[in-house]
């Protein structure tokens, strides 16, 4: 039990990530409405972004922008003073891409609504079978 508490206190970022992943997966599997599924997919994406960004954190470190970058060539730069820039780069593009893919998902939902007049999965299936 003490192990679990220590685990939670030092690694609560993973716990938050796991909670978001579970919420997102549940919405994607169980919800019958396509828009709710899209919302679940977005929660899952947010979970992954949280996971990456929290990995990049370092204790007592600064933003990954080199201080006094120009003018002092002899100035030594220590990697431990700056947080890890790599996850930020990956998630920066991932956020914009997730907005663009969200647009495509909503476009598909609009197209399905035009065709079948509903966004409920079971009703769409019924209409496909009856057609």
Partner 1 sequence: MKTIALLTVLAIGAFLLYGTPEFPAWGDPQAPAALHVSPYYIEHTIEDTAVPNVVTSVLADYRGYDTMFETSVIFAAGLACLMLLRRYQPKTQETRLYRHVPTGITLRIAQGGKIPEASDEFERIDSQWVPYDLIVKLTARLIVPFAQLFALYVIAHGHHSPGGGFQGGVIYGAALILYAVSFDLRSTFRRLSERTAILLSAAGVLIYASTGFLCMLMGGNFLDYGYLAPLLGGDPVMARSHGIFIVEIGVGMAVMAVMVSLYYNLASAGRHDEGL
Contacting positions for partner 1 (CB under 8 A): 7, 10-15, 17-19, 21-22, 25-26, 29-30, 54-59, 61, 63-67, 69-70, 77-80, 82, 84-90, 92-93, 95-97, 99-101, 103-104, 106-108, 110-111, 114
Output 46 or 101, the one with its CB closest to partner 1.
101
Least distance (Å) between residue 126 CB and partner 1: 16
**Phi and psi based region of residue 77 (left: phi greater than 0; alpha: psi -120 to 50; beta: remaining):** beta
Output 108 or 128, the one with its CB closest to partner 1.
108
Output 96 or 128, the one with its CB closest to partner 1.
96
Q: Which residues contact 114 (CB under 8 A, 6 or more apart)?
A: none
Output 12 or 128, the one with its CB closest to partner 1.
12
Report the C-alpha gap between 85 and 105 in whole angstroms.
30
Report the C-alpha gap between 22 and 28 in whole angstroms.
10
**Phi and psi based region of residue 100 (left: phi greater than 0; alpha: psi -120 to 50; beta: remaining):** alpha
Is 44 in a helix, a strand, or coil?
helix
Least distance (Å) between residue 70 CB and partner 1: 7
């Amino acid at each position: 039990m003490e192990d679990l508490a220590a685990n939670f206190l030092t690694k609560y970022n993973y716990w938050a990530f796991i909670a978001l992943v579970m919420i997102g997966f549940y919405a994607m599997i169980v919800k019958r409405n396509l828009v709710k599924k899209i919302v679940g997919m977005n929660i899952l994406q947010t979970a992954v972004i949280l996971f990456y960004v929290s990995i990049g954190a370092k204790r007592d470190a600064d933003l990954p922008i080199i201080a006094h970058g120009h003018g002092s060539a002899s100035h030594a730069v220590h990697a431990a003073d700056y947080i890890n820039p790599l996850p930020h780069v990956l998630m920066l593009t991932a956020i914009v891409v997730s907005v663009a893919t969200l647009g495509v998902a909503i476009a598909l939902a609009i197209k399905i609504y035009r065709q079948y007049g509903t966004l409920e999965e079971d009703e769409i299936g019924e209409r496909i079978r009856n057609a």
